[in-house]
């Protein structure tokens, strides 16, 4: 079995290399117009050129920071509001229908409104990212905190557990799986919103860069920007997954 | 009524704990640790009003092992929850040490039947058992040591760092019992704790709980629908009828301790109790 | 209080308070606007067809992209689900491509197709194909092995096996993936319109924003919300009607 898995890993690597090689060949053959099809080697060259010119790290940092601030703000607020809303049973009937209605609203739809009311500023960008990506984690937090098993609540009561201890030791761990499910989604949305806001508002960042690259027909730079955005998406989602796996270790064990 | 503890020659030391005649007499003369007076539990209003328990008058003596048996729906779980303080009666009073119960308290520990739901799945086994110690701000080291001592007593010493989800049903129930013992309760309330376990595990735990209760002189109120289990375990058995739940009979169990799964269950007195209670319960 | 009253309590309260505030204290026109103006604006836009045309444009881009994305997702997902070896070889490359946000490809799509519905559909297709692909792979992988054996024993040709055994056996799980993708399709279409494409509801909102018309903007935002909610409801209803046996799996 060990050999089998090794063979598959090798096969996967071979496949990936094969795809890149195919890409390179197709680009070299000129089947697709150079105007919108760049080869891998040209993409790498463009990346290195950007780095040499000092135009790599700043936009990258711009996008990442914007996304990070917006996501962090959305997450903290979302968890807190979700927890607060979950407190009261009576509040549920008032709140749930509104939440259900707001859920399918596309996050990017608030961008034109935000630009109108807040102007084309970096603060607007963070506000848009925060507000647009808050819903998944708010819903996750709300679900997590309302679905605490009543049996565990009774155990806490039998131990005469004070409210603060209950919140930290019981409610939060119970809600954590649902909260993480929401966090994964809102991370993806935060990245999307960051890119769109940068395109719209012309703020320093990868989104803005790829827009400029397109307008100036610098297609290799466009591809380079896409690769960078993919890297941002990859690293952030993997990091979150890693944290989730460590905190929720107990879920994968047993049975 | 006194139960005398016979010495079983050559058995492990915890099976030879004698309860002296004098202290047994004293115990029975003391104030009941739990009482209910005219308790009624009903839900709904008017025409939809459903009486779950009606005019319950029960005295639980300190140190006794009281079994409450009855068909499903007779309100035995409701009665236990009244004792725990998770529920307040519609009428009447429930007294603990002579004072009315207003809510749950650490001195009245409860063991649930659905052990998987009653344990914290994100904590290790020892951290689950150590939960009661956290209130007293006991340092981490000491909490761990005390939890492990209890786990050793329950035969789970090697599983302290596992998660509850990794253990079998019987082991999880032991963890729950260990956690309840960590509370150092005066009363142990058990709601059909062995109902979800296989027969062999059930028997092992029956004997274990009897030993533990005797060791610590804890009062136990044990709920079951299994008549034989009730007679096997109890000093006294209260049979409840259904719709509405009310006391049908109270029987003092005249069986010698320590009890054995084979010999006690074949004892003529055991069978006599069984016939007696069976007739009463079926009749209702 | 009945359930309906409770559900509407907060929105009604907010709207009423807002309207009263505007009427009593007055709100400068360029900033927030107020409910009555929003209703008027929305009603006008509805009647003169602008909102409906925009909705149609958005939906054409969304549905076209959804269709393409679902097709690719299912067609790729079935063999990857049936042959774990293939999934092991191809999977890591797909995992490397997946984190690229569909919107990152906006300028590229613009280069290739220029403005219009095809560019929008391309982005939507990319956004929709990932959830459908993943759900299909998981669903096909979890088919009871015995069902697949029956197909082999009867020596059915591959296409028949797929249509008659594999697809029905996945139950409603693929449909759940399609429902999720449908939500994404609408959101992505509007996103594309807000960013670049001068068509549809997203663009209408950008125009209202640039034209400093908050009443129209709020009305269009409300409309987008209603459309999204109605679309989701429609799909849930379809799922319940045609796949009743999978209701349990739906919320899994």
Overall number of domains in chain B:
2
DSSP string, B145-202: HHHHHHHHHTT-GGGTTS-GGGS-HHHHHHHHHHHHHHT--SEEEEESTTTTS-HHHH
pLDDT of residue A175: 92
Q: How many percent of chain C have pLDDT more than 90? A: 27
Size of interface A-B (CB pairs under 8 A): 62
Top-confidence residue, A236 or C29: A236
- The Cα of C43 is separated from the nearest Cα of chain A by a number of Å equal to 19
- B139: in domain: yes
User: Do B171 and B60 have their domain in common?
Assistant: no
User: Do B52 and B158 have their domain in common?
Assistant: no
pLDDT of residue B166: 92
- B167: in domain: yes
pLDDT of residue C247: 43
Are the C-beta atoms of B219 and B61 separated by less than 8 Å? yes
| Spacing of C-alpha C151 from chain mean position | 35
Which token pair is B8?
Answer: 């079983």
Contacts of B118 in chain A (CB under 8 A): 151-152, 155
- B134: in domain: yes
User: Do B133 and B260 have their domain in common?
Assistant: no
- Interchain CB distance below 8 Å, A104 and C208: no
The Cα–Cα gap between A210 and C101 comes to 13
Interchain CB contact of A31 with C (< 8 Å): no
pLDDT of residue A118: 83
pLDDT tier, B2 (very low <50, low <70, confident <90, very high otherwise): very low
Report residue A160: phi and psi, to 5°. Answer: 50, 50
User: Do B131 and B252 have their domain in common?
Assistant: no
The Cα–Cα gap between A232 and A235 comes to 5
- Give residue-wise pLDDT tens across range B59-112: 998 989 999 998 877 788 889 999 999 989 888 889 998 889 999 999 999 999
| Spacing of C-alpha C165 from chain mean position | 28
pLDDT tier, B190 (very low <50, low <70, confident <90, very high otherwise): very high
- B273: in domain: yes
Query: Of how many residues is chain B composed?
Result: 284
The Cα–Cα gap between B117 and A120 comes to 52
Question: What average pLDDT is seen over chain B?
Answer: 84
Nearest Cα residue in chain A from B113:
A151
B109, B117, B122 ranked by CB distance to A158: nearest: B109
Domains of chain A: 38-252 (1.10.3720.10)
- B4: in domain: no
Are the C-beta atoms of C138 and C81 separated by less than 8 Å? yes
Contacts of A93 in chain C (CB under 8 A): 3, 6-7
Which token pair is A170?
Answer: 């019981």
Contacts of A211 in chain C (CB under 8 A): 107
What spatial distance separates the first Cα and last Cα of chain A, rounded to whole Å? 24
Ranges A114-128, B16-30, C43-57: which has the least confidence: B16-30
Are the C-beta atoms of A232 and A209 separated by less than 8 Å? no
User: Do B270 and B139 have their domain in common?
Assistant: no
User: Do B260 and B284 have their domain in common?
Assistant: yes
The residue of B103, B121, B175 whose CB has the most chain A CBs within 10 angstroms, and thus the best one to mutate to test that interface, is B121
The angle formed by the CA atoms of residues C197, C202 and C203, to the nearest 5 degrees, is 55
pLDDT tier, A200 (very low <50, low <70, confident <90, very high otherwise): confident
Mean per-residue pLDDT for A197-217? 87
Interchain CB contact of A143 with C (< 8 Å): no
User: Do B212 and B84 have their domain in common?
Assistant: yes
- Give residue-wise pLDDT tens across range C128-159: 999 999 999 988 888 888 888 887 888 777 77
A151, A159, A176 ranked by CB distance to B131: nearest: A159
Question: What average pLDDT is seen over chain A?
Answer: 88
The Cα–Cα gap between B167 and C58 comes to 54
- Give residue-wise pLDDT tens across range C82-104: 888 888 889 888 988 898 999 99
| Residue given tokens 């400029």 in the structure block | A212
Are the C-beta atoms of A148 and A171 separated by less than 8 Å? yes
Burial label, A246 (beta-carbon count in 10 A; 0-12, 13-18, 19+) = exposed
Interchain CB contact of A226 with B (< 8 Å): no
Highest mean pLDDT among A3-7, B128-132, C150-154, C194-198 belongs to B128-132
What spatial distance separates the first Cα and last Cα of chain C, rounded to whole Å? 32
Among B192, B274, B191, B189, smallest CA distance to B239 is for B274
Asked if residue C19 has pLDDT above 60, the reply is yes
pTM: 0.81
Among A76, A71, A139, smallest CA distance to A105 is for A139
Which token pair is B62?
Answer: 């300190």
pLDDT of residue B241: 83
Mean per-residue pLDDT for A192-217? 88
The residue of C119, C179, C194, C234 whose CB has the most chain A CBs within 10 angstroms, and thus the best one to mutate to test that interface, is C194
Instruction: Find the domain containing B256 and state its range.
Output: 34-107+200-284
Top-confidence residue, B87 or B281: B87
pLDDT of residue C29: 54
Asked if residue B10 has pLDDT above 50, the reply is no
Contacts of A223 in chain C (CB under 8 A): 108
User: Do B214 and B141 have their domain in common?
Assistant: no
Q: How many percent of chain A have pLDDT more than 70? A: 99
The Cα–Cα gap between A60 and A228 comes to 8
- B11: in domain: no
Three-class secondary structure of residue B224 per DSSP? strand
Asked if residue B145 has pLDDT above 90, the reply is yes
Which token pair is B64?
Answer: 């006794």
pLDDT tier, C210 (very low <50, low <70, confident <90, very high otherwise): confident
| Residue given tokens 């925060």 in the structure block | A130
- Interchain CB distance below 8 Å, C96 and A107: no
Residue C229, H or E segment: helix C214-242
Helix axes of A172-201 and A122-132: crossing angle, nearest 10 degrees: 140
User: Do B98 and B230 have their domain in common?
Assistant: yes
- Give residue-wise pLDDT tens across range B223-238: 998 999 999 999 999 9
- B191: in domain: no
User: Do B220 and B170 have their domain in common?
Assistant: no
Domain end (from B145, B160, B184): B184
pLDDT of residue B25: 52
- Give residue-wise pLDDT tens across range C161-193: 777 778 888 867 888 888 889 988 999 999 999
pLDDT of residue B17: 44
User: Do B130 and B262 have their domain in common?
Assistant: no
Domains of chain C: 49-250 (1.10.3720.10)
Asked if residue C4 has pLDDT above 90, the reply is no
pLDDT of residue C119: 92
A95, A117, A229 ranked by CB distance to C100: nearest: A229
The answer to whether the peptide bond before residue B249 is cis (omega within 30 degrees of 0) is: no
User: What is the CATH classification number for the domain harbouring B241?
Assistant: 3.40.50.300
The Cα–Cα gap between B220 and A152 comes to 22
Please state the ipTM of this predicted complex.
0.83
- The Cα of A126 is separated from the nearest Cα of chain C by a number of Å equal to 17
Highest mean pLDDT among A102-111, B56-65, B70-79, B118-127 belongs to B118-127
pLDDT of residue A159: 92
- Give residue-wise pLDDT tens across range A2-32: 788 888 888 889 999 999 999 888 888 888 8
- Give residue-wise pLDDT tens across range C108-128: 898 888 898 999 999 999 999
Strands B187-191 and B219-224, sheet pairing: parallel
Residue C252, H or E segment: none
Beta-carbon neighbour count of residue B165 at 10 Å?
16
- Give residue-wise pLDDT tens across range A136-164: 999 899 989 988 999 999 999 999 999 88
- B22: in domain: no
pLDDT of residue A243: 94
- Interchain CB distance below 8 Å, A108 and C194: yes
User: Do B145 and B40 have their domain in common?
Assistant: no
Ranges A87-101, A227-241, B188-202: which has the least confidence: A87-101
Top-confidence residue, B274 or A30: B274
Nearest Cα residue in chain A from B122:
A250
């Amino acid at each position: 079995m060990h050999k089998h898995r090794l063979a598959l890993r090798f096969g996967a690597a071979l496949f990936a290399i094969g795809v890149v090689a195919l890409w390179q060949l197709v680009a070299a053959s000129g089947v697709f117009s150079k105007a919108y099809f760049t080869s891998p080697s040209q993409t790498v060259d463009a990346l290195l050129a950007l780095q040499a010119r000092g135009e790599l790290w700043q936009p990258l940092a711009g996008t990442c920071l914007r996304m990070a601030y917006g996501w962090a703000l959305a997450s903290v607020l979302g968890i807190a509001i979700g927890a607060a809303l979950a407190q009261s049973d009576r509040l549920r009937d008032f709140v749930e229908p509104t939440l259900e209605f707001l859920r399918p609203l596309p996050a990017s739809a608030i961008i034109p409104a935000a630009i109108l009311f807040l102007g084309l500023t970096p603060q607007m960008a963070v506000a848009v990212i925060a507000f647009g990506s808050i819903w998944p984690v708010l819903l996750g937090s709300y679900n997590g905190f309302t679905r605490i098993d009543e049996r565990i609540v009774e155990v806490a009561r039998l131990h005469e557990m004070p409210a603060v201890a209950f919140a930290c030791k019981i409610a939060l761990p119970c809600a954590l799986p649902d909260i993480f499910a929401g966090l994964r989604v809102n991370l993806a949305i935060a990245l999307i919103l960051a890119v769109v806001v940068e395109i719209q508002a012309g703020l320093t960042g990868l989104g803005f860069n790829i827009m400029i690259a397109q307008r100036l027909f610098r297609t290799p730079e466009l591809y380079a920007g896409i690769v960078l955005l993919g890297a941002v998406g990859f690293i952030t989602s993997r990091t979150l997954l890693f944290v989730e796996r460590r905190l929720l270790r107990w879920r994968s064990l047993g049975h | 009524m006194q139960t005398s503890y016979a010495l079983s020659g050559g058995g492990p030391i915890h099976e030879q704990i004698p309860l002296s005649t004098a202290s047994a007499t004293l115990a029975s003369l003391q104030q009941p640790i739990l009482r209910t007076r005219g308790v009624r539990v009903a839900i709904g209003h008017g025409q939809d009003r459903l009486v779950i328990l009606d005019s319950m008058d029960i005295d639980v003596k300190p140190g006794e092992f009281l079994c409450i048996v009855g068909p499903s729906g007779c309100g035995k779980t409701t009665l236990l929850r009244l004792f725990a303080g998770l529920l307040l009666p519609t009428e009447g009073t429930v007294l603990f040490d002579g004072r009315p119960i207003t809510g749950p308290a650490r001195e009245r520990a409860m063991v649930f039947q659905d052990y998987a739901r009653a344990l914290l799945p994100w904590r290790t086994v020892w951290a689950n058992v150590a939960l009661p110690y956290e209130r007293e701000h006991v340092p981490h080291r000491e909490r761990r040591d005390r939890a492990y001592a209890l786990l050793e007593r329950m035969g789970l010493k090697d599983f302290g760092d596992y998660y509850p989800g990794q253990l079998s049903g019987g082991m999880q129930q032991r963890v729950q019992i260990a956690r309840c013992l960590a509370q150092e309760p005066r009363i142990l309330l058990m709601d059909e704790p062995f109902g979800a376990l296989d027969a062999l595990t059930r028997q092992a735990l029956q004997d274990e709980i009897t030993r533990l209760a005797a060791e610590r002189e804890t009062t136990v109120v044990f709920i079951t629908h299994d008549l034989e289990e009730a007679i096997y375990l109890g000093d006294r058995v209260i049979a409840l009828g259904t719709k509405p739940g009310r006391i049908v009979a109270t029987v003092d169990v005249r069986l010698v301790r320590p009890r054995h799964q084979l010999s006690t269950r074949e004892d003529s007195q055991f069978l006599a109790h069984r016939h007696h209670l069976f007739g009463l319960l079926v009749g209702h | 209080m009945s359930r309906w009253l409770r559900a509407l309590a907060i929105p009604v309260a907010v709207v009423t308070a807002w309207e009263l505030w505007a009427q009593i204290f007055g709100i400068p026109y360029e900033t927030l606007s107020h409910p009555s103006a929003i209703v008027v604006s929305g009603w006008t836009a509805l009647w003169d067809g602008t909102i409906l045309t925009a909705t149609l444009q958005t939906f054409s881009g969304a549905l076209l992209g959804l269709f393409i994305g679902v097709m690719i997702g299912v067609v790729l997902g079935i063999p990857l689900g049936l042959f774990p070896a293939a999934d092991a070889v191809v999977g890591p490359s797909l995992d490397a491509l997946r984190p690229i946000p569909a919107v990152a490809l906006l300028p590229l799509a613009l280069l290739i197709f220029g403005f219009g519905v095809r560019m929008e559909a391309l982005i939507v297709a990319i956004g929709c194909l990932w959830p459908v692909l993943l759900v299909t792979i998981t669903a096909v992988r979890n088919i009871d092995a015995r069902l697949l054996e029956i197909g082999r024993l009867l020596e059915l040709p591959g296409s028949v096996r797929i249509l008659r055994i594999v697809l029905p056996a996945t139950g409603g799980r693929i449909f759940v993936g399609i429902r999720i993708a449908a939500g994404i399709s609408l959101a992505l279409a509007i996103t594309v319109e807000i960013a670049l494409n001068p068509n549809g509801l997203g663009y209408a909102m950008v125009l209202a924003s640039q034209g400093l018309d908050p009443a129209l903007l709020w009305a269009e935002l409300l409309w987008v919300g209603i459309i999204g909610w109605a679309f989701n409801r429609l799909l849930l209803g379809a799922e319940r009607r045609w796949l009743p046996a999978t209701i349990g799996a739906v919320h899994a």
